[in-house]
Amino acid sequence: MVKDPVCGMEIDENKAKHKTQHGGETYYFCASACKETFEKNPEKYLNRSNGDDFDARKVAIVGTGQVGSTFAFALMITGLSSSIVLIDQAAERAEGHAMDLNHSLPFVPPCRISAGDYSDCRGASIVVITAGASQKPGETRLELVRRNTDIFKQIIPEIVKHNPGMLVIVSNPVDILTYVALKVSGYSMNRIIGSGTVLDSARFRSLLGKHCRVDPRNVHAYIIGEHGDSEVPVWSQVKIGGISFLDYCSMYLRDVSEKERDEIFNEVKRAAYEIIKRKGATNFAIGLSLVRIAESILRDENSVLTVSTLLDDYYDIGDVCLSVPVILNRNGVAKTLKIGLDQSELASLRASAKVLKNVIKGLDI
């Protein structure tokens, strides 16, 4: 077995259909897209994790507002990262956060924390992008799209010039901006990840855990599709300790009505609006969602998370970024998982993809 140098997938070289020669060596690929990406700039992929300056535990954060700074704080506490660099167009804000975080170092595992500029993305394993305009009260995520697309067209080339390992997009509308980042960066699809519905799935699990009076860590449940108004709860796959949600309720609580299920999902879907109405931003749960994504990448965990990724023939859906369960490891998205969906869930996922594709059509990228 050998590794595809672009996406990191393990492949059998005897069966590989896609291969190329470079520097007297043969390289094997899982798909023609990876082969073409490699051939455009082989050095980029061969040096990616071997360069002297590559630090597998370095994380750069672009945008140090509510979300970026909360993520930096949470990441520092976990000890997952050896080095955190904070970058913001408001340079003083990044510096202030770096100073404050540095004063926390006697209480947490060792970590280098500094403010920097885009050149500090060099050698980083992950660059998390939370830069951009945030949602105003009452504003839908899709309404933010033009403002943040323009910001991304400006900052993504500045970041990828320094060849970091992968980009995690958080700024909203996250699925659209993940697609924009993919197109603008020229990176392979496994290296561009949107935080997607990791947060929504956490909200869903938290509310289901509360309803069932069960630790939410023992609730398996996914929100898929757009991180936004067209997102889809996969009720058919909700499991509480291995028991389906409906059975669990009938056996240990009481039958759950469709109205109650709608209420739970609406609370998930409305969460950002309700929190922003009260405190102006969401930061804690997204901060920890980003720690969970970073953990899976930095520790090569192969965790299943609903991140936003480019779909290719997923239930006939393609050329759009949205969230489905994926296997996430140090190479980014290793596999998308085809979760079982009932007829109405599948119809809703297709509708969600359509909403996003219509927005993409109107963008100048």
Q: Does 134 bind ligand NAD (CB under 6 A)?
A: yes
Closest CB 166 distance from ligand NAD, rounded Å: 16
Q: Does 151 bind ligand NAD (CB under 6 A)?
A: yes
Q: Alpha-carbon distance 11 to 9, whole Å?
A: 6
Nearest to 133 by CA among 177, 102, 100: 177
Read off the tokens for 132. 């951009």
Q: Alpha-carbon distance 326 to 125, whole Å?
A: 19
Q: Does 323 bind ligand NAD (CB under 6 A)?
A: no
Respond yes or no: is residue 227 known to be catalytic: yes
Of 37 and 309, nearer to ligand NAD (C-beta) is: 309
Q: Which of residues 253-292 bind ligand NAD (CB under 6 A)?
A: 281-282, 286
Binding piece for ligand NAD, criterion CB under 6 A, among 28-36, 52-60, 76-84, 127-135? 127-135
Binding piece for ligand NAD, criterion CB under 6 A, among 84-92, 97-105, 240-248, 318-326? 84-92
β-strands 166-169, 223-224 pairing: unpaired
Q: Alpha-carbon distance 198 to 230, whole Å?
A: 15
Give the count of beta carbons closer than 10 Å to the beta carbon of residue 99.
12
DSSP 217: G
Binding piece for ligand NAD, criterion CB under 6 A, among 23-31, 148-156, 210-218, 330-338? 148-156
Q: Does 199 bind ligand NAD (CB under 6 A)?
A: yes
Furthest-apart CA pair in the chain: how many Å?
A: 67
Of 5 and 173, nearer to ligand NAD (C-beta) is: 173
Closest CB 134 distance from ligand NAD, rounded Å: 4
Read off the tokens for 287. 């901060």
Query: Alpha carbon of 250 to those of 103, 245, 254: distances in Å?
Result: 52, 9, 5
The one among 37, 64, 230, 237 contacting ligand NAD by CB under 6 A: 64
Read off the tokens for 74. 């949470």
Q: Which of residues 164-183 bind ligand NAD (CB under 6 A)?
A: 170-172, 174
Nearest to 328 by CA among 298, 349, 355, 353: 298
List residues with catalytic annotation: 227
Residues of this chain that interact with ligand NAD (CB under 6 A) are: 62-68, 88-90, 93, 130-132, 134-135, 151, 154-155, 170-172, 174, 195, 199, 227, 281-282, 286
